[in-house]
Structure formats: C-alpha cells, structure tokens
Amino acid sequence: MVRNAVSVVLTLLCGLSVGWLVPHPVMAQNQAPAPGRNDASSAPVKPETSAAVDPKTYVIGAQDILMIKVWREQDFTGLYTVRPDGKITIPLVGDVQASGLTPERLGDQLKQALADFINSPDVSVSLQTVNSKKFFITGEVNRAGDYSLATPTRVFDALSNAGGFRDFANKKKIIIIRGAERIKFNYQDILKGKSLEQNIYLENGDTIVVP
C-alpha cells in the first residue's frame, strides 16, 4: 500500500510539472504580441461609387445627389441632395446654389465660401446619383422604365441597354417622343449601317416607344 501511495504522489507531481512547463492556451493567447492596429481613423476611406459624368461639363440639376468631400473636415463631407429650388445647405456656410453649375464650378465656389472658416480648404464635388436628367423606354422591350441620362446617349445605345426586344417588337417603327415632336427610328437600318443620321442623341425627358 505504501508503494501504491508513493506511485500516486509521483504521478501527481509529474502532472503538475508538465502543467507548469506547457503554457495554457488561454495564457499563451493573452501573452501573444498584439497585431498592428488598424483603426478606422487611420485606414483609408473607401471612395463612394459615383456616377460617370464629366465634372467639367455636366450641369447639376434638382434632385441630383452630390458627394462633397472636404479634406480632413468630416463635418462638411457627405452626400447632399439638390433641393427643388436648386440649392444645397452646407454647415456654417448656409444655402449654396448648385443647380445650373458643373461639379467643378461648384467645388470652386465652395472653396471660396469655406475659406472664411477653414485654412486653404481642399474641396471636391462629384455626382453620386443623377436624378435630374432621365429618358424613358416603353413598349416591347424587356426592361421598360426610366433611365439616367448621365452621359450623352444615342437611341441605339439606349435600346441596347433595355434588355433586348420582345418577340413581336416592330424594330422598324420605333418612335422618340420629344415634347410635341415625333421622331422615327429604324433599329434594323442602324444595324445594317444605313440612315445613321437617325441615331440621334437623347435629350432629358425623351420617351422611346417600341411598338
């Protein structure tokens, strides 16, 4: 019995020794060096997706959504929707006319306005969403509806983006409605390289009718 008691004691001592020599998983995890910090404040901000417009030529309109960025000034940076009166409201500055200006021109005016509050402000303006300029496609196409007219778009290109024609679409007698004007368009002729002058640029408010 004495021999058995000695064996038990030796077994316990061996177990304790191994426990001290081998780090506990939790202790090892806590003692591991901390990885490099990646604070949101130091990480680069992923840019917002913007509408593909030329900031030098596109004219801002009501309901357009603008992305205004002021370097290192988060209080001024954000999305601004152009109101029906054509203005946006900037903190401290107040109401600023946006409609009728290009994004580049608006950026220049905001720099001047913010200079009273910020030393050498760095301002950029881009179009997040174009809502002021649209055209419409109706009739025998797979994706009828309204489409943004963010960039110059010809009739053929607009129809190509409408998901194709339905089975019984009359591609030779398409009509573009522009106010009181009715403009004929033959899709088949354009495919054959004929009468290319009919492939006009769309204007804001145009409706393409595919019978």
Q: 121 pLDDT band (50/70/90 cuts)? A: very high
CA distance 200 to 155: 6
pTM over 0.75: no
Lowest-pLDDT range, 17-21, 92-96, 178-182? 17-21
CA separation for the pair 210, 166 (Å, rounded): 10
pLDDT of res. 50: 64
130 beta partners? none
Q: Is 9 left (phi over 0), alpha (psi -120 to 50) or beta?
A: alpha
- The three state secondary structure string of 8-33 is HHHHHHHHHHHHHHCCCHHHHHHHCC
Which token pair is 17?
């020794």
Residue 154 DSSP code: B
